């Protein structure tokens, strides 16, 4: 490993992470790169480069922050097939693999090859705007949500050209398994293993009896039409607003050929992380029962 790119949350205290990374790199003559947004006094001896140059040069991207920071790192690194190591500076951070105190040890394990690379499904989302074809990539989710002041959203969900349901609702979420523990979970959707090849479609506060998540194969194409009976909708991907669409517009969602690559060290699993971060507790009469499983 010759070069490590460092991406960090601009408002979180990253001093422990930076000190560990710099010390580890200096011992091994590994080059560090970071982005112009990282203040000079935080990484004074590290070269600032543009995102494209960072991922083109790096063998590994270290992302220090919450899930938002790690998602951003994935979006930059995935096209170049560069793996991302997530360092947890957030509250939940399902995507993070290590805490700041473990950074140096994690980098050493990666250097030795004592790690695995976990692929994460991404979604390519397309629509037309002002005569242009727009495409954005989402690792968590793409959301069509009602625009404030424009009434409820009226949306039609079709799979493979076949209408499934029409919703009068606050919106609709199309999520990857990675995103199942984000907005989709808050809207009542299921927790799905990140290794599952599926796209989850969840209505947000629908005005009707049907409010269940639809899970479709990753090989299927999803289409969401904005119907004339509703108002404008805002399109968001991974929490960032991308556009405002008027009735008559449509968004297609399909699995991307580009996958995110996350470093896993084997110290924990998705299920252990989910149990801890969602603060799942057992009933008192089962918590000490050996027959209840681990």
Q: Annotated active-site positions, please?
A: 67
Residues in the chain: 294
Q: What angle do CA 253, 257, 262 make, to 5 degrees?
A: 105
- Cα distances from 9 to residues 5, 89, 105, in angstroms, run 14, 8, 21
If phi > 0 it is left, if psi is from -120 to 50 it is alpha, else beta; for residue 60 that is beta
Report whether 68 contacts 94 (CB < 8 A): no
Contacts for 217 with CB less than 8 Å, ≥ 6 apart: 197, 198, 199
Asked if 157 contacts 214 with a C-beta cutoff of 8 angstroms, the reply is yes
How many other CB atoms are there within 10 angstroms of residue 221's CB atom?
Answer: 14
- Please identify which residue in the block is written with the tokens 């297609």: 252
List Cβ neighbours of 196 (8 Å cut-off, separation of 6 or more): 177
């Amino acid at each position: 490993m010759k070069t490590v790119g460092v991406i960090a949350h601009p408002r979180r205290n990253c001093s422990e992470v930076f000190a560990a990374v710099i010390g580890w790199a200096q011992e091994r003559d590994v080059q560090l790169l970071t982005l112009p947004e990282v203040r000079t006094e935080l990484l004074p001896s590290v070269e600032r480069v543009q995102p494209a140059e960072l991922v083109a040069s790096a063998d590994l991207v270290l992302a220090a922050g919450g899930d938002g920071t790690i998602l951003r790192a994935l979006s930059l690194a995935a096209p170049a097939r560069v793996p991302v190591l997530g360092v947890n500076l957030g509250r939940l951070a399902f995507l993070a693999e290590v805490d700041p105190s473990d950074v140096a040890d994690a980098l050493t394990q990666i250097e030795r090859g004592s790690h695995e690379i976990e692929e994460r499904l991404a979604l390519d989302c397309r629509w037309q705007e002002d005569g242009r074809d727009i495409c954005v990539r989402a690792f968590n989710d793409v959301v069509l949500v009602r625009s404030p002041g424009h009434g409820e959203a009226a949306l039609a969900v079709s799979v493979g050209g076949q209408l499934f349901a029409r919703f009068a609702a606050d919106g609709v979420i199309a999520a990857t398994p990675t995103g199942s523990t984000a907005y989709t979970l808050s809207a009542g959707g299921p927790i799905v293993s990140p290794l599952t090849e599926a796209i989850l479609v969840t209505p947000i506060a629908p005005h009707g009896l049907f409010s269940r998540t639809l899970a479709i194969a990753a090989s299927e194409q999803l289409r969401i039409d904005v119907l004339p009976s509703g108002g404008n909708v805002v399109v968001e991907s991974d929490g960032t607003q991308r556009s405002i669409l008027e009735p008559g517009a449509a968004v297609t969602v399909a699995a991307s050929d580009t996958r995110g690559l996350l470093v896993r060290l084997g110290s924990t699993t998705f299920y252990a992380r989910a149990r801890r971060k969602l603060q799942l507790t057992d009933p008192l009469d089962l918590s000490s029962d050996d027959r209840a499983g681990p």
